[in-house]
């Protein structure tokens, strides 16, 4: 979009509110600390005259980056500001917030004057520079001298000081996004900011406030665009901060070499042919003053920062580090340096695909859906059409957020946007309808085909543009993850960080809470300081999620990528996944991939197959000189694969790695036998209808076996991978599981044992080499993909599903044994959870793996208890941790029942007088250890139940613990005494609760 198009636009930054507003929200917290508000006056209590004055003057007082809108006090209210500053004290932080949130809340009290109220830019320009000069004379201001006439009694020595003054000019959406991000980032790092677009202010009192803020600011950051040189206030800011030697210019979509006076005046270069000329005439001042201000930019060598479309993140972080150094805050620089090192290693789950093919249309359409605009090369792919006059009602989400009034406000806001007409691709005739309408429609209830009490809710059928959320759907193996990964790499500089979240229903909540390390938010239970009442487990889990959501709803933009969303509801508690996400329309964007036809009430962007040319390029691989006959064979293979992108990539890898022609590959694949699988479930649908793809998988397994023998490590790694969690798998852990898969024929010759004993010293290096070779082979044939985590790979979910369907004997047991023996709770928690799913049968699942009693005891002590405690306290996932302990208790009880069951042996049958014995009698030590392990689990459950106020259940559990320890250890054993003390505590708490309820 042309920068000059903003000059005549009437619009405002959309005002969005959080879905969970409360009296302790940041909006009220910010308003009470602002020196321009009366403590008794909130933004929602302003009079009609005040609101109309705010809309005309175009000024918004805002401090906290979380507060999306505030009201504007009248001049009489501003008159009392000077007397209120000394009496104000910061509002206390939330009682149950994390330490990092307390820090953020304390430093978010800086006050800025923003420009997010609706007003006409043309009205502000009509004042011209003559009125501006008269105001300067009236105030007697000459860059450092400020006085305040009229009713404003704010004295200079009472004005709070600011670290940074941020001045900018313009209403372009990208500029506003950049400026808000810069302010929020500075405030998060503890630097107070004052933000203002002075060209939009018409009140002399507010101009005086801004001018005094400039005086008391340590540094002045001025955002330079091609429209800044015609703005008198930007020129004044450049002169003022240049004289004070504290100017920090940021060139937005400009280069310092573009800002030369002679080029601007003489209209030299493509940029200034349209925007150049005698800009001091539009500026309204003298040519000499204007020339000196522009020349001052060239004299600032150390501070020059450039914000281009591809380096926003680097520019903002560099600006924050530079300003922190100048302010003497080295801790901020060190913290930023550590954070950047962490992001460089862990931001993306996979390295970028350098051989990414096609999807140009989808990438630009995703950009348009998220941002409501396209920039750079993508802009050439669109052309404008006449807008449609009307559109159907649009709903998003559930509940109160879908009311008619809110939809009407959204439509009225979108109708004011200029330059955002419906667009289509040049290569397509399908129109993309924008969210705009002339008048609201009357809401109509959907007709229900059923005769039930409640009618069926009509779902949304429109894509939202410019709301910051996009959904991509398609069949398995079509390339959804590749598309999201390419988009994230291409546009990651527009966000502070890309947050990748696996969308599998059993893991999505944990994956979402894992973001705490990047957002520096504590989601554990230990941070709660509220002692007035005990919160339920549900409240504690919601509090942990809300801390993540709150951090994502600042003005700092993040990109949340939810890959492979399996269901709209969480598997654990069946709550909507949308409750995890921040509000739509904010700075944080959400990108979802799913196989569902619709997700969170949005119509997704349906991903189609690659074009014929792109598919041919993908299949040819490194070989480009096939004959016409072989090209026809490739087209035939494409049709048989159902145009699956995964299958095309595997074909290309085979043709690149092996000296084989497409015709020979087709013949080999057709002859590959397949087992008769019983397909069931929605997830097996892609495999059920594409048998040629399954035969291609078998071709790859045969290639691996031919290269490495009948027990190829690569093939066994694929067989074991089907039971791991849907995330990156350490190669050493995967190889360990693969080696534990039993052979079909257990024949170990004497010479093989002798060879093993002789080469045991070389086994370690050979194992590592074979693991590396096997993983490299899987990656080269596109069966797996490399991960940014060192020593890890990720196998395609479609291939893992096929590996589970093949049902190799011993593969689940091998995976569980490898995870128990080699897994780390801190490094591999997802895979440990996957092993627990196989062992305990969560939900309606059946138990797949049975362990020996000795292995079960080791599992309880070394895996289950640490995992449950970590999940409970570190992530506030109370229900999941308690369910794990409950199922573990049931498994121990079942093992005890088996121990006390009579055991008959063939030798005992001949000795009729010998009494029948049990395993408990045959192995008394093992039986006692089993009973004590169950007591430990019961005691742990009892203590955790206290955290949620479940005193009755806790009392019953601890009594069972005391009974077991009395029977095994005796009454005077320390563990028995400790359990009795816990029972006394529970009894006191239960009595207090009963007394309180009776009163």
Name residues whose C-beta falls within 8 Å of residue 427's C-beta, 6 or more positions apart in sequence: 361
Last residue of a domain, one of 272, 298, 328: 328
Distance of CA 28 to the CA centre of its chain: 27
Looking at residue 15, what is its pLDDT? 36
Query: Helices 204-215 and 232-243 meet at what angle, rounded to 10?
Result: 30
Structure tokens, 773: 């070779």
Looking at residue 281, what is its pLDDT? 76
By the 8 A CB rule, do 471 and 604 touch?
yes
Beta bridge partner(s), residue 250: 223, 305
Q: CA dist 286 to 129, 134, 242, 656, Å?
A: 10, 15, 18, 69
663: number of Cβ within 10 Å = 17
Query: Rounded to an integer, what distance in angstroms lies between the CA atom of residue 612 and that of residue 112?
Result: 55
For the chain, first and last CA: distance in Å?
68
Looking at residue 751, what is its pLDDT? 39
Query: Rounded to an integer, what distance in angstroms lies between the CA atom of residue 65 and that of residue 553?
Result: 9
**Starting at the edge strand that comes first in sequence, how are the strands of the sheet with 792-795 ordered?**
729-730, 792-795, 784-786
Structure tokens, 665: 């590959």
924: number of Cβ within 10 Å = 11
Looking at residue 838, what is its pLDDT? 95
What is the per-residue pLDDT across 236-257, written as a single tens digit (0 to 9) for each? 999 999 988 899 999 999 888 8
Residue 875 scores a pLDDT above 90:
yes
Mean pLDDT of all residues belonging to the chain:
74
Q: Is 745 exposed, middle or buried (0-12, 13-18, 19+ CB in 10 A)?
A: exposed
Query: Rounded to an integer, what distance in angstroms lies between the CA atom of residue 484 and that of residue 502?
Result: 12
- Residue 416: inside a domain, yes or no? no
Looking at residue 290, what is its pLDDT? 86
Mean pLDDT of 563-572: 92
By the 8 A CB rule, do 508 and 501 touch?
yes
The total domain count for the chain is 3
> What SS3 string covers 622-689?
CCCCCCHHHHHHHHHHHHHCCCCHHHHHHHHHHHHHCCCCHHHHHHHHHHCCCCCCCCCCCCCHHHHC
- Residue 940: inside a domain, yes or no? yes
Main-chain dihedrals φ then ψ at residue 824, nearest 5 degrees: -120, 135
pLDDT class of 31 with cuts at 50, 70, 90: very low
What is the per-residue pLDDT across 736-783, written as a single tens digit (0 to 9) for each? 999 999 876 444 444 344 334 433 443 445 566 688 889 999 999 999
Q: Which domain holds residue 942?
A: 887-902+917-998
Mean pLDDT of 698-711: 83
Looking at residue 272, what is its pLDDT? 84
Element (H, E) at 894: helix 878-900
Main-chain dihedrals φ then ψ at residue 590, nearest 5 degrees: -125, 130
What is the per-residue pLDDT across 549-561, written as a single tens digit (0 to 9) for each? 999 998 899 999 9
Secondary-structure percent of the chain, ordered helix, strand, coil, rounded to 5: 55, 10, 40
Looking at residue 263, what is its pLDDT? 82
By the 8 A CB rule, do 774 and 717 touch?
yes
Mean pLDDT of 474-497: 93
Structure tokens, 168: 């900018």
Which of 366-380, 762-776, 782-796, 912-926 is modeled with the greatest confidence?
782-796
pLDDT class of 679 with cuts at 50, 70, 90: low
Structure tokens, 913: 């007088």
* CA dihedral sign of residues 232, 2, 377, 272: negative
Looking at residue 922, what is its pLDDT? 64
Query: Rounded to an integer, what distance in angstroms lies between the CA atom of residue 932 and that of residue 146?
Result: 78
Looking at residue 374, what is its pLDDT? 66
Looking at residue 291, what is its pLDDT? 85
- CB half-sphere exposure, 450, CA atoms < 13 A: 7
Mean pLDDT of 417-429: 40
Last residue of a domain, one of 580, 606, 632: 606
**Starting at the edge strand that comes first in sequence, how are the strands of the sheet with 217-224 ordered?**
193-196, 162-167, 217-224, 247-252, 305-307
Among residues of the chain, what percentage have pLDDT more than 70?
A: 68
- Regarding predicted confidence, which is higher, 755 or 985? 985
What is the per-residue pLDDT across 654-668, written as a single tens digit (0 to 9) for each? 999 988 899 999 999
CATH number at residue 949: 1.25.40.10
By the 8 A CB rule, do 118 and 192 touch?
no
Query: Rounded to an integer, what distance in angstroms lies between the CA atom of residue 584 and that of residue 589?
Result: 8
Q: Where are the alpha helices (DSSP H) in 807-852?
A: 811-822, 829-840
Query: Rounded to an integer, what distance in angstroms lies between the CA atom of residue 213 and that of residue 707?
Result: 73
What is the per-residue pLDDT across 287-305, written as a single tens digit (0 to 9) for each? 888 888 888 888 887 777 9
Query: Rounded to an integer, what distance in angstroms lies between the CA atom of residue 612 and that of residue 609?
Result: 9
In the three-class reduction of DSSP (H, G, I as helix; E, B as strand; rest coil), residue 479 is classed as coil
Going by C-alpha positions, the residue among 487, 500, 478 that lies closest to residue 368 is: 487
pLDDT class of 962 with cuts at 50, 70, 90: very high
Pairing of strands 605-606, 784-786: unpaired
In the three-class reduction of DSSP (H, G, I as helix; E, B as strand; rest coil), residue 129 is classed as helix
Looking at residue 921, what is its pLDDT? 61
Residue 220 scores a pLDDT above 60:
yes
- Residue 974: inside a domain, yes or no? yes
Residue 368 scores a pLDDT above 50:
yes
Pairing of strands 469-473, 605-606: parallel
Structure tokens, 668: 């080999």
Name residues whose C-beta falls within 8 Å of residue 990's C-beta, 6 or more positions apart in sequence: 951, 952, 955
- Residue 797: inside a domain, yes or no? no
Say how many residues make up the chain: 999
Enumerate long-range contacts of 207-212, CB under 8 Å, 24 or more apart.
Answer: 207/135, 207/139, 208/139, 208/146, 208/148, 208/152, 209/36, 209/78, 209/113, 209/152, 209/154, 210/113, 211/139, 211/141, 211/146, 212/146, 212/148, 212/154, 212/156, 212/159
Main-chain dihedrals φ then ψ at residue 315, nearest 5 degrees: -65, -45
Query: Rounded to an integer, what distance in angstroms lies between the CA atom of residue 523 and that of residue 501?
Result: 17
Q: Where are the alpha helices (DSSP H) in 146-231?
A: 173-188, 204-215
CATH number at residue 260: 3.40.50.10140
CATH number at residue 564: 3.40.50.300
What is the per-residue pLDDT across 333-356, written as a single tens digit (0 to 9) for each? 999 999 999 999 999 999 999 889
By the 8 A CB rule, do 877 and 510 touch?
yes
568: number of Cβ within 10 Å = 17
What is the per-residue pLDDT across 189-200, written as a single tens digit (0 to 9) for each? 999 999 999 999
What is the per-residue pLDDT across 571-612, written as a single tens digit (0 to 9) for each? 998 989 888 888 877 889 999 999 988 777 788 899 989 998
- Residue 557: inside a domain, yes or no? yes
What is the per-residue pLDDT across 809-856, written as a single tens digit (0 to 9) for each? 889 999 999 999 998 999 999 999 999 999 998 988 899 999 989 899
Last residue of a domain, one of 328, 348, 373: 328
Name residues whose C-beta falls within 8 Å of residue 768's C-beta, 6 or more positions apart in sequence: none
- CB half-sphere exposure, 472, CA atoms < 13 A: 28
Name residues whose C-beta falls within 8 Å of residue 577's C-beta, 6 or more positions apart in sequence: 503, 508, 562, 565, 567, 568, 569, 570, 600
Main-chain dihedrals φ then ψ at residue 594, nearest 5 degrees: -160, 160
Beta bridge partner(s), residue 463: none
Looking at residue 458, what is its pLDDT? 42
By the 8 A CB rule, do 839 and 891 touch?
yes
Going by C-alpha positions, the residue among 350, 341, 348, 345 that lies closest to residue 317 is: 341
pLDDT class of 621 with cuts at 50, 70, 90: confident
- Residue 410: inside a domain, yes or no? no
- Residue 108: inside a domain, yes or no? no
Q: CA dist 198 to 63, 133, 569, 972, Å?
A: 17, 14, 47, 79
451-460 burial code (b ≥16 CB/10 A, e <16): eeeeeeeeeb
- Residue 349: inside a domain, yes or no? no
Going by C-alpha positions, the residue among 619, 382, 589, 600 that lies closest to residue 473 is: 600
Mean pLDDT of 130-138: 43
Provide DSSP, 8-34. G-EE-PPP---SS--TTSHHHHHHHH-
What is the per-residue pLDDT across 34-81, written as a single tens digit (0 to 9) for each? 333 333 333 333 333 333 343 333 333 333 333 333 333 333 333 333
């Amino acid at each position: 979009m042309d920068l000059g198009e903003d000059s005549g636009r009437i619009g405002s930054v959309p005002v969005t509110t959080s879905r969970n507003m409360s009296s302790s929200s940041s909006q009220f917290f910010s308003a009470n600390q602002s020196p321009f508000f009366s403590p008794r006056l909130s933004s929602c209590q302003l009079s009609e005259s005040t609101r109309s004055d705010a809309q005309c003057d175009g000024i918004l007082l805002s401090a906290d980056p979380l507060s999306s809108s505030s009201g504007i006090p009248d001049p009489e209210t501003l008159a009392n500001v000077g007397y209120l500053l000394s009496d104000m004290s910061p509002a206390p932080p939330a009682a149950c917030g994390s330490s990092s949130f307390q820090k953020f809340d304390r430093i978010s009290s800086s006050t800025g004057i923003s420009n997010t109220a609706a007003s006409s830019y043309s009205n502000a320009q009509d004042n011209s520079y003559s009125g501006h000069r008269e105001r300067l004379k009236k105030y007697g201001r000459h860059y450092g001298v400020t006085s305040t006439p009229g009713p404003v009694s704010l004295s200079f020595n009472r004005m709070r000081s600011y670290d940074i003054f941020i001045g900018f000019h313009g209403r372009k959406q990208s500029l506003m996004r950049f400026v808000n991000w810069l302010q929020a980032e500075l405030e998060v790092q503890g630097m107070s900011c004052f933000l203002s677009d002075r060209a939009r202010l018409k009140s002399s009192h507010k101009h005086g406030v801004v001018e005094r803020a400039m005086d008391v600011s340590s540094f002045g950051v001025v955002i330079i665009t091609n429209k800044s040189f015609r703005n008198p206030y930007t020129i004044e800011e450049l002169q003022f901060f240049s004289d004070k030697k504290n100017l920090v210019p940021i060139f937005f979509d400009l280069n310092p070499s573009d800002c030369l006076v002679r080029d601007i005046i003489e209209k030299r270069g493509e940029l200034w042919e349209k925007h150049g000329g005698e800009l001091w005439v539009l500026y309204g001042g003298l040519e000499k003053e204007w020339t000196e201000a522009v020349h001052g930019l060239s004299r600032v060598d150390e501070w020059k920062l450039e914000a281009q479309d591809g380096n926003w993140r680097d520019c903002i972080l560099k600006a924050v580090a530079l300003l922190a150094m100048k302010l003497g805050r080295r801790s901020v620089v060190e913290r930023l340096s550590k954070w950047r090192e962490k992001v460089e290693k862990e931001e993306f789950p996979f390295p970028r695909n350098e051989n990414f093919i096609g999807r140009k249309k989808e990438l630009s359409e995703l950009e348009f859906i998220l941002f409501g605009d396209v920039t750079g090369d993508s802009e050439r792919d669109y052309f404008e059409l006449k807008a449609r006059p009307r559109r159907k009602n649009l709903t998003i989400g559930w509940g109160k957020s879908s009311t008619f009034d809110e939809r009407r406000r959204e439509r009225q806001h979108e109708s004011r946007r200029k330059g955002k007409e419906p667009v289509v691709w040049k290569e397509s005739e399908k129109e993309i309808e924008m969210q705009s309408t002339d008048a609201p429609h009357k809401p109509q209830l959907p007709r229900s085909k059923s005769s039930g009490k409640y009618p069926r809710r009509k779902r949304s059928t429109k894509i939202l543009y410019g709301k910051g959320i996009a959904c991509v759907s398609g069949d398995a193996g079509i390339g959804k993850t590749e598309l999201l990964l390419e988009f994230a790499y291409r546009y990651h500089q527009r966000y502070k960080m890309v947050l990748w979240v696996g969308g599998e229903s059993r893991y999505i909540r944990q994956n979402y809470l894992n973001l705490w390390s990047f957002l520096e938010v504590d989601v554990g239970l230990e941070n709660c300081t509220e002692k007035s009442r005990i919160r339920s487990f549900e409240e504690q889990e919601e509090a942990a999620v809300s801390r993540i959501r709150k951090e994502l709803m600042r003005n700092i933009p993040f990109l949340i990528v939810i890959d492979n969303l399996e269901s709209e509801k969480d598997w654990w508690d069946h709550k909507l996944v949308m409750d995890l996400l921040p509000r739509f329309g904010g700075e944080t964007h959400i990108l979802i991939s799913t196989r569902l036809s619709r997700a969170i009430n949005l119509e997704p962007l349906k991903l189609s197959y690659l074009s014929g040319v792109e598919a041919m390029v993908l299949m040819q691989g490194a070989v480009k000189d096939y004959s016409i006959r072989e090209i026809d064979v490739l087209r035939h293979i494409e049709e048989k694969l159902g145009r699956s992108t995964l299958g095309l990539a595997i074909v290309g890898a085979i043709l690149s790695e092996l000296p084989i022609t497409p015709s020979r590959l087709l013949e080999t694949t057709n002859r590959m036998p397949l087992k008769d699988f019983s397909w069931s479930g929605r997830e097996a649908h892609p495999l059920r209808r594409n048998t040629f793809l399954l035969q291609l998988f078998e071709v790859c397994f045969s290639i691996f076996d031919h290269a490495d023998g009948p027990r190829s490590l690569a093939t066994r790694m694929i067989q074991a991978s089907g039971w791991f969690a849907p995330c990156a798998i350490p190669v050493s852990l995967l190889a360990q599981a693969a080696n534990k898969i039993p052979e079909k024929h257990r024949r170990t010759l004497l010479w093989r044992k002798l060879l093993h004993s002789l080469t045991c010293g070389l086994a370690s290096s050979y194992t590592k080499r074979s693991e590396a070779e096997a993983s490299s082979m899987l990656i080269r044939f596109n069966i797996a993909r490399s991960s940014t985590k060192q020593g890890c790979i990720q196998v395609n979910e479609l291939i893992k599903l096929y590996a589970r369907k093949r049902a190799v004997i011993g593969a689940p047991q091998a995976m569980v044994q490898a995870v128990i023996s080699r897994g780390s709770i801190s490094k591999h928690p997802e895979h440990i959870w996957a092993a627990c799913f196989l062992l305990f049968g969560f939900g309606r699942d059946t138990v797949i793996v049975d362990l020996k009693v000795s292995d079960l005891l080791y599992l309880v002590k070394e895996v289950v208890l640490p995992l449950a405690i970590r999940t409970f306290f570190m992530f506030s996932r109370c229900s999941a941790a308690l369910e794990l302990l409950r199922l573990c208790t049931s498994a121990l009880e079942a093992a005890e029942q088996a121990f006390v069951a009579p055991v008959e042996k063939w030798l005992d049958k001949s000795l009729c007088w010998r009494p029948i014995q049990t395993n408990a009698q045959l192995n008394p030590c093992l039986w006692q250890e089993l009973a004590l392990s169950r007591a430990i689990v019961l005691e742990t459950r009892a203590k955790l139940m206290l955290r949620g106020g479940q005193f009755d259940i806790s009392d019953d559990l601890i009594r069972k613990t005391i009974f077991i320890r009395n029977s095994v250890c005796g009454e005077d054993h320390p563990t028995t005494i400790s359990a009795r003390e816990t029972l006394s505590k529970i009894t006191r708490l239960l009595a207090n609760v009963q007394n309180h309820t009776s009163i």
